[in-house]
Amino acid sequence: MTLIELLVVVTIVSIMALGIGLTGGGVFARPSDSVRSLADRFDGAVTQARDRAMLGRRLVGLRPRPDGWMIVEPGRDGNWQPVGAPVRARRASMAWQIDGQTFLPRLASAAADRRPAVIFAPDGRATPLRLVIARPGGRIACATDPGGGVTCE
């Protein structure tokens, strides 16, 4: 084989792999923003925060954002640091109710030293929380119990 033939074969295989990746979901898939998918991601975030608090024997927070949420932990300097990337929900509206009060993330300060609205304690307790996720295709309400578990309906 000549070098030109080899380059042509590699180019064709690359184009086919890209096409399969884009159509089949694979590595290039973006997380779905369906209401059910967002509720599942929220359930996973609450579970992750509760587990991090219990296993690390420290406080872990969940900071509501206008477009999603973010898990945070206190850093060595006392400021709350993000754990991973924030979850962003495109084209979905979220109504937060924390400890029985309506919470508006747009009005809350996102300063790094400010304690997050939702706290998970090392003993498994958590701030009571209710989140309603709505999109034109549906609506789901998720709530945490004092033990940190999540139910979505």
**Tally of structural domains, the chain:** 2
- Residues near 128 by beta carbon (within 8 Å), at least 6 away in sequence: 98, 99, 100, 143, 144, 145, 146
In this structure, the answer to whether residues 84 and 100 fall within a common structural domain is yes
In this structure, the answer to whether residues 13 and 45 fall within a common structural domain is no
Q: Which residues of the chain carry a pLDDT beneath 70?
A: 1, 23-33, 108-113, 147-148
Three-class secondary structure of residue 44 per DSSP: helix
Three-class secondary structure of residue 24 per DSSP: helix
- Give the per-residue pLDDT at 73: 93
In this structure, the answer to whether residues 21 and 94 fall within a common structural domain is no
- Give the per-residue pLDDT at 53: 92
In this structure, the answer to whether residues 120 and 50 fall within a common structural domain is yes
In this structure, the answer to whether residues 48 and 25 fall within a common structural domain is no
Range of the domain at 26: 1-30
In this structure, the answer to whether residues 42 and 73 fall within a common structural domain is yes
